[in-house]
Structure 1
Amino acid sequence: MATPLTMVTFDRDGRPVDDAPDRLAEAMADTRTPVTDVFLLSHGWLNTHTRALTAYEEWVRAMTDYFALRYFETEERRPGFRSLVVGVHWPSAPWQPASASRSVEAEIAAYADVLGEDTVEDLAPLVRRAREGADPERLTPADEDRFVRLDERAGLDLQQVGARPGNDRLDFEPGAIHADYRATRPGPWAALLAPLKVTSFWAMKRRALHIGATGVRTLLETLRQADVSGNVRFHLVGHSFGAIVCCAALQSAARPVHSLTLLQGALSLWSCAAVIPDTRVDGYFRPLVDLGLVTGSVVTTTSDKDRALRWFYRMAATTSRDYRLARPKRLPRYGAVGTYGLAGLDAGVARHLTVERGRLRYGVEGGRVYRADASAVVTGGGFSVQGGHSDLVHPELAGLVWEAAMVP
């Protein structure tokens, strides 16, 4: 990992905020120190620029340590290996942990930035009461109406499984969401705002899709055009909603990439299915498979310690707590890649492997889609809605990314 990390920041419309893409293109075109591999990383939800930078730096250190361990093997397989590491930052934090330094007005404005400026009137009383410690046993009809209006004004639809990320929900029932949160307490924030968190979650999925299909796709093509050799390999690595960013960028790209790694991906498990069982629709990102947009391997990680994905995806279908398909494995219609992997693939393509502590080699092969059960290392801890969702800095996971990148 000879090249340091370069951050590229996008605004909410997918536009870069500085000249970082141009500087990266110059580095790509420099034949004195030719780049052989580009790693493009995208974070997920609730990441400020500082938090994203810290996460990327930690991840690059883990990758660098692994590179040093397998240096001679890498040189043999990829002579002259030299990487360019790009960290994407996009506005993904509709809320932050409660703190005395953040005013009520700032919190309201953060939600309004995601849901729409015309939502302030409904947001204000809810946020203020939550700050005051309100914890009702059930929502009032007036509050339920407020949450429904907020969801509608966010521009979200209920188009069910297979729809574009953000609209792939069955229903939105504020009362049921609030009751479930009070019963299970999956996170530290006020139960009163649980329906608002759910709306923000799905709205942020939609933003991730837009950022990927516009800004990151353009960045990817800019770097490709700067590749004078035409031999540079591109590797996309997305965490959480960053998995949506990467898939959206790739789906609209002109050329394939070599590897795609989805770490605790916050997108539907049916995203790449040819036909979603009990429906007549395919997965939204099925073209990634049909068009051969990954020439090497696809790797997904799953963990049963990831509370964030389990709870938020369960809230996609609140009218039926066991909304499962009539099939032997009884996979849910609404679930995340980070929980179940990618389902609905051809048997000859899908593979399963287990990430064990201390295991650094996996025998990843090209032309395969792997579900890597990382429950042994992606564990997290503490009282957090995320659980193990962001617990990613492990040599075992670095090994997965490296193996995918090194596939012939």
Structure 2
Amino acid sequence: MSGPFQQFPLDGGPTADLYLLRYGQDGRLRSPLAEQEIKDRLAGVSDVFLFSHGWNNIFAQALARYRSFITGFIDQRQKFAVPVPPDYKPLLIGVIWPSTSFVMPWEAGPKIAADPDPDGAGARQIEEMLGLVTESLDPEVDREFIELVDGRAVIDSDAALRAAEIVLDGLRAEHDPDDGSPPPTAKEFLAVWEALDGGGDAAPPADPNEFGTAHRAESGLLVAGGGSFDPRSLLRTATVWKMKARAGEVGSNGVGPLVAHILRESGVRLHMVGHSFGAKVLLSALVSAAPNRPARSMLLLQAAINRWCFAADVAGTGRPGGYHSALDQLERPLLTTFSAFDDPLTKVFHLAMRGSQLGEPGVAAIGDPELYGALGGFGPAGVEGISARRTAAVPGLERYDLGGGLRLIAVDGGIEIDGEPAIAGHGEVSNPATWWAMHALARPD
């Protein structure tokens, strides 16, 4: 669609206009008229705020989150008289990308585990996930996979091993772009699968300074319930893999060209705000754009990406993280939140995204977030000397110090403000603490 989707009133009469850009699963732009109008308007605006949702299910939910954050941000500026640049004329862009048409496993609850309602919404989600996982398989392999898992709540270890081989080959055959880890072998993944069947119980406490490993059988694998596995755990994990890859494609192929145009063809200040896998969308967009000047700022809210993604040396491997270069493409330090109250990112992510032999000998530890933990669950790793950890600032009373040569500030949203956690869950990212973090990046002083 062309024209702004909604206009938000500002002080003194002007408006902040919100445009929505829809992208296909491969990053193909599906809103060319709206994008062209954005480009035509760049000469008359000072600041562009670019938002990307994460696990939002449908257009209406993504739009509701954008509206909530924008309205709260504007109201908070007025409440605390936050200064703006003298030429302040903002334009807002919301990315709409297919992060699935159903509730993502992590949004549905803290566990990637079997749904207790086999005839309700959970069953429909399983059907959709089955289609999502198998849509890219060769016909012959697809038939074999369907025979193994379709409609089953339990399969034996031999069937589970073959199902894991198929899914890994089809959806996770390459090294992880965030941390560079090779994919787990099918046998290694069976240990992860067992932990997921248990609801992620092999994961350690959410304290980012307390790491651990699950108990391991002598064979190096955890044995699931006498050799039985729930295929729904595999489908949920494979769906996470697919959405993670899709976020990168949407960012690189779709949003990236727009970011490149904004930074090369205009002088506006570009601010980027991404939630969950939306953080990967925007990081991929910025890195792929290779702009000739930096964006102004980036705020990542409970990012579902590996915590080593910004490291110069990932876990002693000699490889940089997939988004290490992004830190040099921002004028101000990147702000990223993490919270002990984010159950999906503290209890499940490092199981679902576990690779093989990243920075340590032998089989990678099961349930160890030190290597495979989420940025939004435990904060960044491998960024000593250029980063700092700060508790979430109290709006109107405290400020973030963006100086001192820092390139990255990890904001602990697990602390309490006025008796409540600053970030109480994975989706609780439009609130006074997050608006205040955005003000720290956008204000002129």
TM-score tier, shorter chain, comes to: 0.7 to 0.9
Checking the alignment, whether the CA contact within 8 Å between 1:361 and 1:403 is kept in structure 2 is no
Task: Identify the match of residue 191 of structure 2 among 176, 182, 185.
Answer: 176
Match of 1:285 in 2: 323
Distance 1:222 1:248, change over 3 A: same
The answer to whether structure 1 residue 112 and structure 2 residue 134 are counterparts is yes
Alignment-mate amino acid for residue 206 of structure 1? A
Match of 2:35 in 1: 21
Alignment-mate amino acid for residue 54 of structure 2? G
Alignment-mate amino acid for residue 248 of structure 1? S
Match of 2:376 in 1: 338
Aligned-pair CA distance for 1:5: 2.0
Distance 1:9 1:353, change over 3 A: same
Task: Identify the match of residue 240 of structure 2 among 201, 204, 207.
Answer: 201
Task: Identify the match of residue 7 of structure 1 among 20, 25, 29.
Answer: 20
Checking the alignment, whether the CA contact within 8 Å between 2:160 and 2:190 is kept in structure 1 is no
Task: Identify the match of residue 49 of structure 2 among 33, 39, 48.
Answer: 39
Rounded Cα–Cα distance in structure 2 between residues aligned with 1:14 and 1:224: 19
The answer to whether structure 1 residue 271 and structure 2 residue 280 are counterparts is no
Task: Identify the match of residue 298 of structure 1 among 305, 327, 334.
Answer: 334
Task: Identify the match of residue 147 of structure 1 among 164, 183, 195.
Answer: 164
Task: Identify the match of residue 395 of structure 1 among 405, 412, 432.
Answer: 432
- The unaligned stretches of length 5 or more in structure 2 are 1-9, 109-119, 202-228, 357-362, 416-420
Rounded Cα–Cα distance in structure 1 between residues aligned with 2:337 and 2:91: 24
Match of 1:354 in 2: 391
Alignment-mate amino acid for residue 176 of structure 1? A
Give the secondary structure class of the aligned counterpart of 2:401: coil
Match of 1:385 in 2: none
Rounded Cα–Cα distance in structure 2 between residues aligned with 1:94 and 1:111: 14
Rounded Cα–Cα distance in structure 2 between residues aligned with 1:356 and 1:196: 39
Distance 1:364 1:64, change over 3 A: same
Rounded Cα–Cα distance in structure 1 between residues aligned with 2:160 and 2:364: 22
Alignment-mate amino acid for residue 53 of structure 2? H
Task: Identify the match of residue 402 of structure 2 among 357, 365, 386.
Answer: 365
Aligned-pair CA distance for 1:235: 0.7
**What do residues 214-270 of structure 1 show as CA deviations (whole Å, max 9, x unaligned)?**
21111113334553xx2x110111111111111111112213101111111111111
Alignment-mate amino acid for residue 294 of structure 2? P
Checking the alignment, whether the CA contact within 8 Å between 2:129 and 2:239 is kept in structure 1 is no
Rounded Cα–Cα distance in structure 2 between residues aligned with 1:321 and 1:61: 44
- The unaligned stretches of length 5 or more in structure 1 are 325-330, 381-387
Cα RMSD between the aligned structures? 3.0
Aligned-pair CA distance for 1:155: 5.0
Distance 1:185 1:95, change over 3 A: farther
Checking the alignment, whether the CA contact within 8 Å between 1:44 and 1:240 is kept in structure 2 is yes
Checking the alignment, whether the CA contact within 8 Å between 1:272 and 1:286 is kept in structure 2 is yes
Rounded Cα–Cα distance in structure 1 between residues aligned with 2:339 and 2:316: 26
Aligned-pair CA distance for 1:156: 3.0
Rounded Cα–Cα distance in structure 1 between residues aligned with 2:72 and 2:388: 25
Rounded Cα–Cα distance in structure 1 between residues aligned with 2:65 and 2:148: 32
Aligned-pair CA distance for 1:149: 0.3
Aligned-pair CA distance for 1:141: 1.4
Match of 1:92 in 2: 99
Q: How does 1:53-132 map to 2 (within 5 A)?
A: 53-71=63-81, 73-75=82-84, 78-93=85-100, 95-96=102-103, 99=121, 102=124, 106-113=128-135, 115-116=136-137, 118=139, 120-122=142-144, 124-125=146-147, 128-129=150-151
Distance 1:101 1:162, change over 3 A: closer
TM (normalized to structure 2)? Answer: 0.74
Aligned-pair CA distance for 1:278: 2.8
Aligned-pair CA distance for 1:343: 2.1
TM (normalized to structure 1)? Answer: 0.80
Rounded Cα–Cα distance in structure 2 between residues aligned with 1:156 and 1:378: 38
Rounded Cα–Cα distance in structure 2 between residues aligned with 1:286 and 1:313: 20
Give the secondary structure class of the aligned counterpart of 1:86: strand
Give the secondary structure class of the aligned counterpart of 2:332: strand
Give the secondary structure class of the aligned counterpart of 2:430: coil
Distance 1:62 1:210, change over 3 A: same
Aligned-pair CA distance for 1:151: 2.2
Aligned-pair CA distance for 1:139: 3.9
Checking the alignment, whether the CA contact within 8 Å between 1:94 and 1:200 is kept in structure 2 is no
Task: Identify the match of residue 179 of structure 2 among 162, 168, 172.
Answer: 162
Rounded Cα–Cα distance in structure 1 between residues aligned with 2:411 and 2:156: 40
Alignment-mate amino acid for residue 258 of structure 1? R
Rounded Cα–Cα distance in structure 1 between residues aligned with 2:239 and 2:151: 18
Distance 1:182 1:170, change over 3 A: closer
Give the secondary structure class of the aligned counterpart of 1:28: helix
Distance 1:283 1:194, change over 3 A: same
Give the secondary structure class of the aligned counterpart of 2:192: helix
Task: Identify the match of residue 259 of structure 2 among 220, 224, 237.
Answer: 220
Aligned-pair CA distance for 1:162: 2.7
